[in-house]
Amino acid sequence: MSSHYEAPIREPLVIGDKSYHDVSNDVAAPVEGRANKSWWIVFSIALVAFLWGLGCIIYTVSTGIGVWGLNKTIGWAWDITNFVWWVGIGHAGTLISAVLLLFRQKWRMAINRSAEAMTIFAVFQAGLFPIIHMGRPWLAYWVLPIPNQFGSLWVNFNSPLLWDVFAISTYLSVSLVFWWTGLLPDFAMIRDRAKTPFQKKIYGILSFGWSGRVKDWQRFEEVSLVLAGLATPLVLSVHTIVSFDFATSVVPGWHSTIFPPYFVAGAIFSGFAMVQTLLIIMRKVVHLENYITVLHIEYMNKVILLTGGIVTVAYITEYFIAWYSGTSYENYVYLSFGAATGPYWWAFWALIICNFVVPLTLWVKSLRRNIMWTFVVAAIINVGMWFERFNIIVVDLSKGRTPSGWAMFSPTYVDIGVFIGTIGFFFVLFLLYARTFPVIAQAEVKTILKSSGEKYKKLRAKHGDD
Amino acid sequence: MYMLSSKIKLTAIILMVVGLIGLVYGFLAAPDNVEEVKEMMAAEEHHDGSHAAVSNESTAQMQATEDASHNTANAEATGAGEGDHGDSHYEHLLHQLQSKPWSAIYVSAFFFFMIALGTLVFYAIQIAAQAGWSPVLFRVMEGITAYLLPGSIIVVLIVVFAGTHFFPWQNEELVAKDKILQLKAGYLNLPFFIIRAIIYLIGWNVYRYFARKYSVEQSNAAVNDYRPYKKSFKAAVFFLIFFILTEMTMAWDWFMSMNPHWYSTLFPWYVFSTMFVSAITVIAIVTVFLKRAGYVTFINDSHIHDLAKYMFAFSIFWAYLWFSQFMLIWYANIPEEVTYFIMRIEEYNLLFFGMLVLNFVFPILLLMNSDFKRIPHFVVGVGIIILIGHYIDVYLLVMPSTIGPNWFFGIPEIGSLLFFLGLFIFVVGAGLGKESLYPKGNPFLKESENYHY
């Protein structure tokens, strides 16, 4: 990196007259302070939703999958829709911390910690579904290739559902390690500031005795880079493998070779939308407007535009090839003329409007930099990407090759309850995180303060670069 | 200022002349009628009777299985009148052998054209991303994209005039018998095909023209006057949108419709990955060449390192898309789709899997090490491997679809490769010499010059 030089036309990433000490203070404030009333209210709501969802899960497992709205034609619906949706959301975190690190995007530093937290909590939610949608979840350990007393009965490595097991578990563990490594210097900072012995003890354990020596930092950087290099193919392959669940099949609409990159682009698209949703609230509540600036929001909107554009091109491809293939079965797939006018027309148009039409507004600079509008668009994309997965799964299954098997799907309250439960669980975790973890990687922000901080950029403009 | 040395100029001209002779030979050597085909087969049998008989047998087998391919369909269309199966076989062979020189030119023409187009895309991405490391390379990239205009015109002329050599859906007799092709006629018809090709041609070249213009304007602008840069930024963003859409339809038009019954949704992005990684490799090779010749002292080994990282990353990306397309079709094994890979695996086995070694195994092993990526001759060496691999990739996009099992790497292939290599060196050399290689005035230039990784 070229000392502290940065082109003057770049906008500052840290605004206000901040010093290193201010950064520490601002980041530690939520951890050191006490939760206010609104935090408790929101936390209670999330907890209730979580407990309700837990009830639904217990009811499903103890009574049987039949309490869901699935039928013999549509064997996957909300369960796998929610699974893919949550995994997709989880991808933005790794993208921000790994891919943007490889591309040396300094703006990632203010948002990577929360994005990674979001990843991990979202993958937790996703991880529930492959287990609870099983008919006999207590035999779930049979998916693991462990030597056993059935003549060492093994798993079949040809199934993408098995690849999912490896993909998701590897993804969760690597993300967790990557996240925790980055947390060490920040936990150490909180440990060193702690006033109560209890807090000191806890953060002392969490920070693994980090003392910030030169050699430690050097290795820290190397590990981050290697993990970023590993996490990038991982993030691509995980959602690719999720897409294989569909694309390896022969179901019309599912069997499509574009699914691997298209699912990944969609994952980044939905993941960034969720990051926007969370951070726009967080920067306000935790007073981090100087670090998560309008510029950060604009950059994220640009990523949303890019990935949304890629997803749109994939929609066009799917739609075109459904026609071009000349197969009559393809007329009922989720992106076809038949889907646009069939019984699930509302799901088709919800997808088009939420994922294509509304995000187009972000091309307008003033809307891209408008925080309220960004929040609205991000929420709409989250809905739209849920519909995308719903359409791929349910619309394609509903009208298969044999008309006598055609069916419709409608969810029961248990389907919906489990989904609400995962949203509640996600927010329980995220709210606890926001009160106990340094939500901004202060050690990283401090490395760019003098090159990209507003104060220092002004000084350089006045006194020259050298 | 860079000047194309007379030595290189002479080499380029010799390459072009030799290549041209090879090309003309290729066309002259192609049989004109069935009798000549029979003579050729007889001559071949004379050399190695049993082998030729076996290969003919396997050819016939191939045609039987390759139902979706136009080859059979063409044979049926042309051979139907004859009635005699033996003659229809020779008719079919004649058509494939006549397509051979066309295909040979097309592979090389597209290969060099896609390098120029891919470079233009890389350039637009660097500008749209406001990259701080790459501005010192902009003039190098602009020089390479000078080949876009002649290259794209040649490619468009080839696809427009190739007719049924490439595109069986242009055979009216065939379409009259084929329900699926009639269904597709709304997209696969000659006037619309030509209109699309002209739209791509104009769109890509117009962006290249303005990108270069703004870049030169920025160099001549007053200090802190960034208006040309801002215009260039906007142009880059709109070009990228235009490109992702036209690249998609281009891949359908110029490659996928060679097998008009076959389809794969990933295909356009797969073609893009080949294009992109080849282009980055050529940027690296040209940069190393200019640096060694002392023209670009402001480019340091960190820039080379970054280019090598892109070569590494996009080689993996290419392999990812290759595998995704192959594995999904292999796994589902739907008859309409697998014909594409059956032809390539049975008749082009070594090339098909050898390409994976060149395009994936070598780059991932050789470019993993950070120190190696800074060594210019090492990057050039790996770059040449990558380029050979992607030439084979383009070869495999075209040849199995147009000439089927009758491939060999002969004079027309070598001739066209030499011709377009010469043309590429000549045009790019001239393009590099038109402006200073130092992109003065770029707002990120200082960041780029001081860039160290």
pLDDT tens, A20-76? 999 999 999 988 888 889 999 999 999 999 999 999 999 999 999 999 999 999 999
In this complex, the residue of B179, B183, B443 whose CB is nearest that of residue A9 is B443
What pTM does this model have? 0.92
How many structural domains does chain B have? 1
Examine residue B67 and state whether it is found in any structural domain, yes or no.
no
Q: Exposed (0-12), middle (13-18) or buried (19+): which is A383, by Cβ within 10 Å?
A: middle
Binned at pLDDT 50, 70 and 90, residue A280 comes out as: very high
Interchain contact, B248 vs A313, CB within 8 Å: yes
Q: Are A209 and A216 in contact (CB under 8 A)?
A: no
Percent of chain A with pLDDT over 90: 76
Q: Provide the mean pLDDT of chain A.
A: 91
Examine residue B380 and state whether it is found in any structural domain, yes or no.
yes
- How does DSSP assign A12-74, residue by residue? PSB-SS--HHHHHHHHHHHHHS---HHHHHHHHHHHHHHHHHHHHHHHHHHH-GGGSS--SS-
In this complex, the residue of A1, A2, A260 whose CB is nearest that of residue B324 is A260
Q: Exposed (0-12), middle (13-18) or buried (19+): which is B381, by Cβ within 10 Å?
A: middle
The distance of A378 to chain B (nearest Cα, Å) reads: 22
Radius of gyration (C-alpha) of chain A in whole angstroms: 24
pLDDT tens, A408-456? 999 999 999 999 999 999 999 999 999 999 999 999 999 988 888 888 8
Interchain contact, A257 vs B264, CB within 8 Å: yes
Q: Are A73 and A81 in contact (CB under 8 A)?
A: no
* Mean pLDDT confidence for B233-254: 94
The distance of B414 to chain A (nearest Cα, Å) reads: 34
Return the pLDDT at B242: 95
Question: How far is it, in rounded angstroms, from Cα A72 to Cα A132?
Answer: 18
- Contacts of residue B360, defined as CB under 8 A and 6 or more positions apart, other chains included, come to B315, B316, B318, B319, B322
Whether the pLDDT of residue B55 is over 90: the answer is: no
Binned at pLDDT 50, 70 and 90, residue B74 comes out as: very low
Interchain contact, A317 vs B248, CB within 8 Å: yes
pLDDT tens, B163-202? 888 898 988 888 888 888 888 989 999 999 999 999 999 9
Q: How many CB pairs under 8 A join A and B?
A: 93
Whether the pLDDT of residue B384 is over 70: the answer is: yes
Return the pLDDT at B80: 42
Q: Which residue of A has its CA nearest to B234?
A: A363
Beta bridge partner(s), residue A453: A14
Q: Which residue of B has its CA nearest to A237?
A: B320
Q: Exposed (0-12), middle (13-18) or buried (19+): which is B49, by Cβ within 10 Å?
A: exposed
In this complex, the residue of A5, A9, A258 whose CB is nearest that of residue B226 is A9
Question: How far is it, in rounded angstroms, from Cα B110 to Cα B156?
Answer: 10
Interchain contact, A261 vs B264, CB within 8 Å: no
Interchain contact, A258 vs B132, CB within 8 Å: no
Examine residue B257 and state whether it is found in any structural domain, yes or no.
yes
Binned at pLDDT 50, 70 and 90, residue A4 comes out as: low
pLDDT tens, A216-265? 999 999 999 999 999 999 999 999 999 999 999 999 889 999 999 999 99
Interchain contact, B244 vs A309, CB within 8 Å: yes
Binned at pLDDT 50, 70 and 90, residue B93 comes out as: confident
Lowest mean per-residue pLDDT among A412-416, A453-457, B135-139, B286-290:
A453-457
Binned at pLDDT 50, 70 and 90, residue B32 comes out as: confident
Examine residue B68 and state whether it is found in any structural domain, yes or no.
no
CA B391 to the chain's CA centroid: 7
Interchain contact, B453 vs A326, CB within 8 Å: no
Q: Are B444 and B132 in contact (CB under 8 A)?
A: yes
Question: How far is it, in rounded angstroms, from Cα A119 to Cα A330?
Answer: 35
Whether the pLDDT of residue B75 is over 50: the answer is: no
Question: How far is it, in rounded angstroms, from Cα A83 to Cα A89?
Answer: 10
The distance of B184 to chain A (nearest Cα, Å) reads: 6
Binned at pLDDT 50, 70 and 90, residue A463 comes out as: confident
Examine residue B57 and state whether it is found in any structural domain, yes or no.
no
Binned at pLDDT 50, 70 and 90, residue B349 comes out as: very high
Q: Output the six-digit token pair for B193.
A: 């095909």
Return the pLDDT at B56: 45
What is the value of ipTM here, to two decimals?
0.93
Return the pLDDT at A171: 92
Which residue pairs, CB below 8 angstroms and at least 24 apart, start in A142-145?
Answer: none
Whether the pLDDT of residue B232 is over 90: the answer is: yes
Return the pLDDT at B163: 83
Q: Which residue of A has its CA nearest to B182?
A: A326
Whether the pLDDT of residue A372 is over 80: the answer is: yes
* Mean pLDDT confidence for B23-51: 72
Binned at pLDDT 50, 70 and 90, residue B428 comes out as: very high
Binned at pLDDT 50, 70 and 90, residue B72 comes out as: very low
Residues in A lying within 8 Å of B, measured between beta carbons: 1-3, 5-10, 104, 233, 236-237, 240, 244, 247-250, 255-261, 309-310, 313-314, 316-318, 321, 324-326, 465
Q: Where are the alpha helices (DSSP H) in B348-375?
A: 349-356, 362-366
Question: How far is it, in rounded angstroms, from Cα A298 to Cα A367?
Answer: 9
Q: Are A120 and A105 in contact (CB under 8 A)?
A: no
Q: Provide the mean pLDDT of chain B.
A: 87
* Mean pLDDT confidence for A393-404: 91
Binned at pLDDT 50, 70 and 90, residue B85 comes out as: low
Domain around B377:
6-32+103-449
Greater confidence (B239 vs A328) lies with B239
Beta bridge partner(s), residue A14: A453
Q: Output the six-digit token pair for B393.
A: 């990739």
Q: What does each C-alpha distance from B216 to A173, B56, B287, B440 come to in angstroms?
A: 50, 59, 20, 9
Interchain contact, A313 vs B244, CB within 8 Å: yes
* Mean pLDDT confidence for B76-105: 69
Binned at pLDDT 50, 70 and 90, residue B317 comes out as: very high
Examine residue B69 and state whether it is found in any structural domain, yes or no.
no
Examine residue B311 and state whether it is found in any structural domain, yes or no.
yes
Binned at pLDDT 50, 70 and 90, residue B44 comes out as: low
Neighbours of B52 (CB within 10 A): 16
Q: Exposed (0-12), middle (13-18) or buried (19+): which is A152, by Cβ within 10 Å?
A: exposed
Contacts of A240 in chain B (CB under 8 A): 320, 324
The distance of B453 to chain A (nearest Cα, Å) reads: 6
Q: Is B255 helix (H, G, I), strand (E, B) or coil?
A: coil
Contacts of A259 in chain B (CB under 8 A): 265, 324, 328
Percent of chain A with pLDDT over 70: 99
* Mean pLDDT confidence for B341-365: 93
Return the pLDDT at A359: 92
Dihedral of CA A178/A180/A181/A182: which sign? positive
Contacts of A244 in chain B (CB under 8 A): 328
Q: Which residue of A has its CA nearest to B450?
A: A2
Examine residue B27 and state whether it is found in any structural domain, yes or no.
yes
Q: Which residue of B has its CA nearest to A225?
A: B370
